[in-house]
Structure 1
């Protein structure tokens, strides 16, 4: 190492993050997540945007929204939809959590193959 100005920076791992659709865009949800220091990627509903703009400066600033993280949500939603094509998973035929998890593992394997 040459000098004290050279520093090594470690990348931080992202912590838990909530990615939800507009149906979960409420003050209560955002306050609950903020209180627990959990970042949220939830798009703001149009009526909330209009209300905030109508209030002007008193309306506050818009909540942070990460478009790239929200786009990844689509992959998870499609996975759930593919898994629910298996009738045993969609209707939860299995009695125990272990056998239900086994069925999900089997269905995921069949989708993957």
Structure 2
């Protein structure tokens, strides 16, 4: 988890987030550092995000924005091929969205009263642990 200032662009820290990924193995061994796919919403459909994921060999499951679709169609055959979308994998994104909705039930997290990033991150981890223990 990477915590930044509220005014900071998410794309600036994509490399840091990808570097922090650790997917544990079912058997013994070191954790994988490259997931099979990254599922995101339309806000992350920019070419820079897709290129960064492609450079690491990660499948991007991101729908295309409607204005990008229109621009590509306007260009005709010069518009290029649309990026693929695994619809079945994209349906699983609602699990993450529901977790964010649960996290926003904590007033201090939703409004970010904490000034220090360390304190805010600790509150997010605490909320995740309490949510996980209720399952």
- Residues paired across the two proteins, number: 98
Structure 1 residue runs without a partner (length 5+): 1-13
- Residue ranges of structure 2 left out of the alignment (5+ in a row): 1-33
Q: Does the aligned pair in 1 maintain the 2:103–2:127 contact within 8 Å?
A: no
* Equivalent in the alignment of 2:20: none
Normalized against structure 2, the TM-score is what? 0.60
Whether 2:125 is the aligned partner of 1:101: answer yes
Counterpart-to-counterpart distance in 2, 1:100 and 1:54:
44
Question: In structure 1, the residue corresponding to 2:92 is in which secondary structure?
Answer: helix
Runs of 4+ in 1 over 4 A off after TM superposition: 96-100
Q: Does the alignment pair 1:16 with 2:36?
A: yes
> What is the CA–CA distance in structure 2 between the aligned matches of 1:17 and 1:92, rounded to whole Å?
33
Of the structure 1 ranges 91-100 and 79-88, higher mean CA displacement relative to structure 2 is found in 91-100
Find the aligned partners of 1:106 and 1:79 in 2 and give their Cα distance: 12
- TM-score (norm: length of structure 1): 0.70
Aligned-residue offset at 1:76: 1.3
**Aligned CA-pair RMSD:** 2.6
Aligned to 1:51: 71
Matches within 5 A, 1:8-87: 15-87=35-107
SS at match of 1:95: helix
